[in-house]
Amino acid sequence: MAEKRMFIVLLGAPGAGKGTQAKLLEEAAQLPQISTGDIFRFNLKNQTELGKLAKSYMDTGALVPDEVTIRMVEDRLQQPDAARGAIMDGFPRNLVQATAFDLMVAPYGGVTVVPMIGVDDEEVIRRITGRRSCKSCGAIYHVLYNPPKVAGVCDKDGGELTQRDDDREETVRNRLFVYYKQTAPLIGYYYAKGLLAEVDGMQPIEDVAAALKALLKV
């Protein structure tokens, strides 16, 4: 077997705070965030074929086909920054992806831990409707819960803050539906493997971050 790596799989509904926490953990854990949603959005922005394909699914809140997504993650894990492992944000997202991911990481000791960031549905809607992201660096804000210093402007690089296209109310409802139907079964899947760790996602951002760092011992 190759050298052991650390693979953290962040589970949680849309808007639970996976992206926010992954970015906060990157430095502490010395691991890169791998967000399939961010990779699709990057491709969309650059008008690649992958971006065009992904858009047709993302616009309705459906999942992009597994073959495409799994291949994309396989490629991403070959990058040198993933040589010690990764913080997975938004992948795996159904049982097919979870079994494929198990095979990908088996040579490195498998999935290390699966923090499940629990948040209730009304809070999901509040978080998603108030979310703003930086056009240039992807930093995540919330108009009430995590506002930038100057409205509409990124603290880090002065980039413009915009709303995601899939954060419209109808799409959010379908994303939640898809989450319960396809992603929530992963809670049982990882529980059965002894990897699930529940984290209270209803706390303020810093408290969720502290709980995750304590769990991961970073």
Contact residues for ligand AP5 (CB under 6 A)?
12, 14-20, 36-37, 40, 57-58, 61-64, 69, 90-91, 93, 97, 127-128, 130-131, 140-142, 145-146, 166, 175, 201, 203-205, 208
Please pick, among 84, 135, 164, 173, the residue that the annotation labels catalytic: 164
For residues 186 and 195, give the distance between their C-alpha atoms in angstroms, rounded to a whole number. Answer: 11
Question: In whole angstroms, how close is the CB of 193 to ligand AP5 at the nearest point?
Answer: 19
Compute the half-sphere exposure of residue 200: CA atoms within 13 Å on the CB side of its CA: 7
**Closer by beta carbon to Mg ion, 33 or else 196:** 33
**Closer by beta carbon to ligand AP5, 115 or else 201:** 201
* Helical segments of 85-204, H only: 95-105, 121-129, 169-178, 185-192
12 by DSSP, 3-state: which?
coil
Q: Is 93 a residue of the active site?
A: yes
> What's the first-to-final CA gap in the chain, in angstroms?
25
For residues 98 and 22, give the distance between their C-alpha atoms in angstroms, rounded to a whole number. Answer: 19
Question: In whole angstroms, how close is the CB of 208 to Mg ion at the nearest point?
Answer: 14
According to DSSP, residue 62 is labeled P
Q: Is 131 a residue of the active site?
A: yes
Rule CB under 5 A: say whether 150 interacts with Zn ion: no
Tell me which of Zn ion, ligand AP5, Mg ion, none is bound by residue 93, counting a contact when its beta carbon lies within the kind-specific cut-off of 5 to 8 angstroms. ligand AP5
Joined tokens for residue 95? 């049982």
Question: In whole angstroms, how close is the CB of 1 to ligand AP5 at the nearest point?
Answer: 26
**Closer by beta carbon to Mg ion, 20 or else 190:** 20
Q: Is 71 a residue of the active site?
A: no
According to DSSP, residue 206 is labeled H
Rule CB under 5 A: say whether 161 interacts with Zn ion: no
Pairing of strands 131-134, 114-118: unpaired
Q: Is 168 a residue of the active site?
A: no
Rule CB under 5 A: say whether 139 interacts with Zn ion: yes
Please pick, among 18, 41, 127, 132, the residue that the annotation labels catalytic: 18
For residues 105 and 77, give the distance between their C-alpha atoms in angstroms, rounded to a whole number. Answer: 9
Joined tokens for residue 145? 């819960």
Tell me which of Zn ion, Mg ion, ligand AP5, none is bound by residue 32, counting a contact when its beta carbon lies within the kind-specific cut-off of 5 to 8 angstroms. none
Rule CB under 5 A: say whether 121 interacts with Zn ion: no
**Contact 214/25 with Cβ under 8 angstroms?**
no
The residues annotated as belonging to the active site are 18, 93, 131, 164, 175
